[in-house]
Structure formats: structure tokens, C-alpha cells
């Protein structure tokens, strides 16, 4: 069990769930102390038992800038149309299992054919399907780190072995661009080179935050009938991102990274855990990402509405002074 394993699971641990010693034991292949009491219950696969479920803490504070959510709700018109649709839909019938109309419109938007578009209930389901089909037992995943922890979790559930370090030779490679949590967008020519280095392998480029990027992207705005409204929200976030970036860059000792996403990643002179706690005491939630590879004492703040961003900057100023 290396430091790397401990760092890998630490961000996902609620202190009330598992202690360090238990995690170390589980990573080393020993069973959780409670497992012995539960032998009369169905047991999960042994390779899954040591894994800690993906969870993100949900603190109850007024200013929530910890989960990369949009600062504004979807347009009123969209909500009204959805509500009307719910009243007329044939709920007792199976829907179109191939999502034909949706895939055709998405294909149109991205200059593809419908056969080249797959839809699923969010990224977790999409990744699970990809790892089941192309990963699984005996196959490997390479992740360009640091990156969102979801890839490792879903790969593990599918039985895919995650390799640390150089992804060369992996059956599946994941690039998160713009990256969560650093905000860095991988240039298109680098992605092309990665594909060339992995002929016949699956290269997944997760562009969950592409709307906020200045880089050309394969993805686009997905709210189809509401592209203008979505573009207005994106413009607000991009403007506020610059304002928050400039303010962070002016704080003594703070190092902030350029971002192509709806969040900023920054390092503080104080330990990140203490900074996060100090902000929580002042009603502001942001994410401590120091448990990820290469990001000691880094935090991630989601760009919110202007008032929330001001509250964050004021609270951070107090915590660091």
C-alpha cells in the first residue's frame, strides 16, 4: 500500500465511514472489520470490497461553490415545456429505446451521423457502458492525472485495472479536458497525438466543461432549443471567472491556474484543509482537491453568481489574513 493509494481514497472518505487504518487494511486486501459480522449477507466481489464509494460532501451553507454546478437554473421556458410534456406523455409505454430523434439532432449539431452518437443517463452511465464493453477484467485504463476521480471508480466497478503513470499500452485512455480540477484544456493536436500513440485503442475525451472553454471543442451546447439562453449563462460565468481569477492572483501567496472551465484551481500558502474549514465557518463551501496527484494544497472554487463570488473572495481574504 503506497501513499498514492491512500491519497486516492482520502478525498472520498467521510470521516464517519472509514478510518485511515481500515482503508489501509482494505487496500492491502484485508477485510473491513465489520465484514466478519456480515458473512450471512451477499458479499460484493472481492476486488470491489476495498473500494470506497464515490461521494462528494454536501455541506449546508449559504454559498455553495464546491460542486461545479451552473450558477443559474435552466430557462423558465424550458421548465414550462418540460412540465407540459409530462402532462401529455404516454407514461405507460416504453419510450424510444434508441433515442432516435435526440441522437439525430445531436448528430446534426456536431456534424456527425446518428450512428456516431450515443446517449445515456449522465456520464457515469456512459462510462460504465464503455468500460463494460471495452474495459472489464484483463483490460487496463490509463488516466492522465490529475483528473476527476469518477473514471477510476467506474473502471474498478467494471473490473478494469487502472495503471498509474504513463498510459502507453493501456486499452482505454481517458483525458479530462477542460480538466477537473485544474481547468486546463488539452489542445486538440495533443489529443490527436495521443490517438496516434494508441492505434486501435479507445481514447475517451471527457469534455463535461467544454462550454466554458476558449479551445475549439468536439462538444457543444446541448440544450438544443435553448442555445441562446445557455450561451448567456456561459458568458456570465466566463466574465466572472476572469474577475475571480484576477482577485485571487492579487492575494499574497496564492497561485491560481488559468481555467477553461466553470471553476478555478488555486494553491494557498496555508494548508488547504484549514482554508476550506475557515471558509465553511464563514458559510462558503469550496472543494479541497489536495488529495489528487500533483496538487498539494490546492483548492477548487466553482464560479457562481456575482454575489456568491464576492462572498467567497471576502471570506478567503479573512481566512488568509
Ligand X SMILES: Cc1ncc(COP(=O)(O)O)c(C=O)c1O
Alpha-carbon distance of 119 to 147, in angstroms, equals: 23
By rule CB under 6 A, what string of x and - marks binding of each residue 103-142 to ligand X? Answer: -------------------xxx------------------
Q: How far is the CB of 36 from ligand X (least distance, A)?
A: 35
Task: Give whichever of 153 and 268 is closer to ligand X, judged by the CB atom.
Answer: 153
Verify binding: residue 186, ligand X, rule CB under 6 A. no
Closest CA to 155 of 138, 136, 183, 179: 136
Q: Smaller CB distance to ligand X: residue 54 or 226?
A: 54
Size of the site for ligand X (CB under 6 A): 10
Q: Is 176 in the site for ligand X (CB under 6 A)?
A: yes
Alpha helices (H) along the chain = 3-9, 20-27, 46-49, 76-88, 100-110, 123-134, 150-158, 188-197, 227-250, 272-281, 306-320
Which of 247, 261 has the CB closer to ligand X? Answer: 261
Q: Which is nearer to ligand X, 124 or 226 (CB)?
A: 124
Phi, psi of 301 (to 5 degrees): -120, 130
Is the backbone of residue 230 left (phi > 0), alpha (psi -120 to 50) or beta? alpha
Judged by CB, which is closer to ligand X: 206, or 308? 206
| 142, 170 contact by CB (below 8 A) | yes
Q: How far is the CB of 287 from ligand X (least distance, A)?
A: 10
Footprint of ligand X on residues 253-272 (CB under 6 A)? none
Least Å distance, CB 51 to ligand X, is 18
Q: What's the closest the beta carbon of residue 129 comes to ligand X, in angstroms?
A: 13
Q: Is 266 helix (H, G, I), strand (E, B) or coil?
A: strand
Check: CB of residue 298 under 8 Å from CB of residue 272: yes
Q: Which is nearer to ligand X, 180 or 186 (CB)?
A: 180
Q: Residue 91 Cβ, how far from ligand X at the closest point, in Å?
A: 24
Asked whether position 206 contacts ligand X by CB under 6 A, the answer is yes
Contact call for residues 282 and 318 (beta carbons, < 8 A): yes
Q: How many CA atoms lie within 13 A of 103 on its CB side?
A: 13
The least CB distance from residue 42 to ligand X, in Å, is: 27
From CA 172, how far away is CA 126, in angstroms rounded?
A: 14
Smallest separation, CB 123 to ligand X (Å) = 3
Q: Is the peptide bond before 120 cis (omega within 30 degrees of 0)?
A: no
Does 236 bind ligand X (CB under 6 A)? Our answer is no
Does the protein bind ligand X through residue 210 (CB under 6 A)? no
Contact 261, 178 (CB under 8 A): yes
Q: Write the binding mask 55 to 74 for ligand X: x where contact by CB under 6 A, - elsewhere.
A: -------------x------
What are the residues binding ligand X (CB under 6 A)? Answer: 68, 122-124, 148, 150, 176, 180, 206, 208
Amino acid at each position: 500500500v503506497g501513499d498514492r493509494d491512500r491519497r486516492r481514497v482520502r478525498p472520498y472518505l467521510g470521516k464517519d465511514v472509514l478510518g485511515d487504518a481500515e482503508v489501509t487494511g482494505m487496500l492491502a486486501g484485508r477485510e473491513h472489520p465489520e465484514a466478519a459480522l456480515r458473512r450471512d449477507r451477499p458479499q460484493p466481489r472481492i476486488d470491489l470490497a476495498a473500494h470506497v464509494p464515490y461521494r462528494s460532501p454536501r455541506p449546508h451553507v449559504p454559498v455553495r461553490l464546491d460542486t461545479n454546478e451552473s450558477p443559474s437554473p435552466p430557462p423558465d421556458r424550458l421548465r414550462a415545456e418540460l412540465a407540459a410534456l409530462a402532462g401529455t406523455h404516454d407514461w405507460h409505454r416504453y419510450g424510444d429505446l434508441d433515442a432516435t430523434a435526440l441522437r439525430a439532432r445531436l448528430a446534426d449539431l456536431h456534424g456527425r451521423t446518428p450512428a456516431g452518437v450515443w446517449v445515456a443517463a449522465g456520464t457515469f452511465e456512459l462510462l460504465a457502458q464503455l468500460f463494460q464493453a471495452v474495459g472489464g477484467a484483463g483490460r487496463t485504463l490509463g488516466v492522465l492525472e490529475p483528473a476527476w476521480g469518477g473514471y477510476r471508480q467506474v473502471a474498478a466497478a467494471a473490473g478494469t485495472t487502472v495503471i498509474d503513470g504513463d498510459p502507453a499500452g493501456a486499452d482505454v485512455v481517458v483525458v479530462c479536458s477542460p480538466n477537473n480540477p485544474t481547468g486546463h484544456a488539452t489542445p486538440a493536436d495533443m489529443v490527436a497525438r495521443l490517438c496516434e500513440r494508441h492505434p486501435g485503442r479507445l481514447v475517451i475525451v471527457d469534455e463535461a466543461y467544454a462550454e466554458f472553454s476558449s479551445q475549439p471543442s468536439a462538444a457543444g451546447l446541448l440544450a438544443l432549443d435553448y442555445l441562446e439562453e445557455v450561451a448567456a449563462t456561459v458568458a456570465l460565468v466566463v466574465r466572472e471567472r476572469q474577475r475571480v481569477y484576477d482577485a485571487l492572483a492579487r492575494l499574497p501567496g496564492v497561485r491560481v491556474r488559468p481555467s477553461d472551465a466553470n471553476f478555478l484551481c488555486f494553491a494557498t500558502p496555508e494548508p488547504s484543509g484549514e482554508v476550506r474549514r475557515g471558509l465553511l465557518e464563514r458559510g462558503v463551501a469550496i472543494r479541497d482537491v489536495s488529495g489528487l496527484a500533483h496538487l498539494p494544497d490546492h483548492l477548487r472554487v466553482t464560479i457562481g453568481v456575482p454575489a456568491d463570488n464576492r462572498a467567497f473572495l471576502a471570506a478567503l481574504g479573512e481566512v488568509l489574513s
